Amino acid sequence: MNTVVVGTQWGDEGKGKIIDSLAKKVDAVVRFQGGNNTGHTVIVNGEKFIFHLIPSGILYSEKKCIVGNGVVIDPGVLLKEIEELQERGVKLDNFYLSGNAHVIMPYHKKLEEIEEERRGKMRIGTTRKGVGPAYADKIARRGIRVSDLLKKEVLLNKLRMNLKFWKEFLNSEFSCEKIWKQYLDYGKRLRKYIIDTSLLIHKLIQEKKNILFEGAQGTLLDIDYGTYPYVTSSNSVAGGVCAGAGIGPTCIDKVIGVTKAYVTRVGEGPFPTEVRGEIENILRERGKEYGSTTHRSRRCGWFDGVILRYAARVNGLDELVLTKLDVLDSFERIKICVAYKYGKRIIRDFPFQSFMWEKVEPVYEEMEGWRKDTSSLRNFKDLPLRAREYLKKIEEIGGIPIRLLSIGPQRGELLSID
């Protein structure tokens, strides 16, 4: 069984915890896009782990953890993550890195900084990890791949070409020799993890192993389907798995969408259900809505059914996992966006024309809150009736069932729904 997990909003839906829970039942966890712009949080016995590059399945020593070719790698960050995990007693014997993944170079971070400054008010609000420029070099066919770090001459030639290409933007702080030596050293230290991950995944599929493909960011941050240009630079929808991990679409058995009981967004860009003031503060404080990578405070808003319907369509979602329901426990009334209004028109499908995103107004249905603590529940049947009605509404809007409910940050705080 090969399952894909994706975010249905603008990221930060709580995928890390869900993947950690689903990882229990699989043989391998694979990342297929993004870089260290993401941060998946897992809390085990009160101990907090934040994963930026390594699939969160690494906490189970027997699972294979694979970083596919579609991911961009900052080798310094990856090595630091490896060392920190090792210091905490986590074994990395089952960690594999694609030789075809592209590498984030020091100048990518600088180029991103320049680009964001240049945009001024139109800035994207990126994580400034160099992810976008690394993907840009990949698409422009001058990128440096992980396997290049193992070949002295190849690396030197590519590095020279790139520094020459970007010369007018970069000052002398980027010494070719220095970067070359540092990245050769990274290559040496990463060598034992580098393989053809597509082949490994293929073999696992042939052996009928269970594989979980771990999406980063979310549908509305996808380079093609998101709120372009306020998006990340990779395909974070389920389709990204095929190119980013090297498998065919016929190999995917199930697609799970993780959706938060309300919506957040980090960085700039349209956000139709965004709220300000008291509700914003409650959502942010109760939901601890601060970036796990950049520590920026996240913008908050009510649940948006239009984007859920969109995510269900473009990802081919089979089922949903609803997270952070407990954050809504104290509300007397809860709003849920069922459509958008554009002028006099009511729109049910997410508009493809970007000029509409800033102008649409959410059409809300209001529901009564349940005003009971759900975080201490251990059984779905004990969920207050009004909370169940909220779930039912979400299922109705998305046209897909919710199979799992997350009611707290700890590993066990999940209710399955049969």
Residues in contact with ligand IMP by CB under 6 A are 10-12, 37-38, 124-127, 129, 131-132, 216-217, 221, 230, 232-233, 266-267
- Residue closer to ligand IMP by CB (options 231, 334) is 231
- Nearest CA to 68 out of 257, 222, 194, 254 is that of 194
Least CB distance to ligand IMP at residue 101 (A): 16
The one catalytic residue in 20, 27, 40, 74 is: 40
Longest Cα–Cα distance of the chain, Å, equals: 66
- Residue closer to ligand IMP by CB (options 126, 197) is 126
Least CB distance to ligand IMP at residue 333 (A): 28
Residue 73 zone, left/alpha/beta (φ > 0; ψ -120 to 50; rest)? beta
Strands (E), 88-167: 95-98, 102-103
- Residue closer to ligand IMP by CB (options 136, 156) is 136
Q: d(Cα 308, Cα 394) in Å, to the nearest integer?
A: 8
Q: In 10 A of CB 61, how many CB atoms?
A: 11
Q: In 10 A of CB 30, how many CB atoms?
A: 31
* 106 preceded by a cis bond (ω within 30 of 0): no
Query: 336 near 322, Cβ under 8 Å?
Result: no
Q: d(Cα 267, Cα 405) in Å, to the nearest integer?
A: 27
Least CB distance to ligand IMP at residue 287 (A): 14
Q: d(Cα 195, Cα 246) in Å, to the nearest integer?
A: 13
Residue nearest to ligand IMP (CB): 267
Q: d(Cα 404, Cα 379) in Å, to the nearest integer?
A: 11
Query: 165 near 140, Cβ under 8 Å?
Result: no
| 295 belongs to the catalytic site | no
Q: Which residues contact 104 (CB under 8 A, 6 or more apart)?
A: 35, 36, 72, 73, 74, 75, 129, 130, 131, 133, 134
- Residue closer to ligand IMP by CB (options 111, 415) is 111
Least CB distance to ligand IMP at residue 129 (A): 6
Least CB distance to ligand IMP at residue 415 (A): 25
- Residue closer to ligand IMP by CB (options 56, 126) is 126
- Residue closer to ligand IMP by CB (options 217, 273) is 217
Least CB distance to ligand IMP at residue 282 (A): 21
Q: In 10 A of CB 142, how many CB atoms?
A: 13
| 12 belongs to the catalytic site | yes
Per the DSSP assignment, residues forming a β-bridge with 3 are 212, 254
Q: Which residues contact 308 (CB under 8 A, 6 or more apart)?
A: 8, 257, 259, 394, 397, 398
Give the single-character DSSP code of 408: S
Least CB distance to ligand IMP at residue 162 (A): 19
Q: d(Cα 133, Cα 124) in Å, to the nearest integer?
A: 13
Least CB distance to ligand IMP at residue 378 (A): 30
Q: Catalytic amino acids?
A: 12, 40
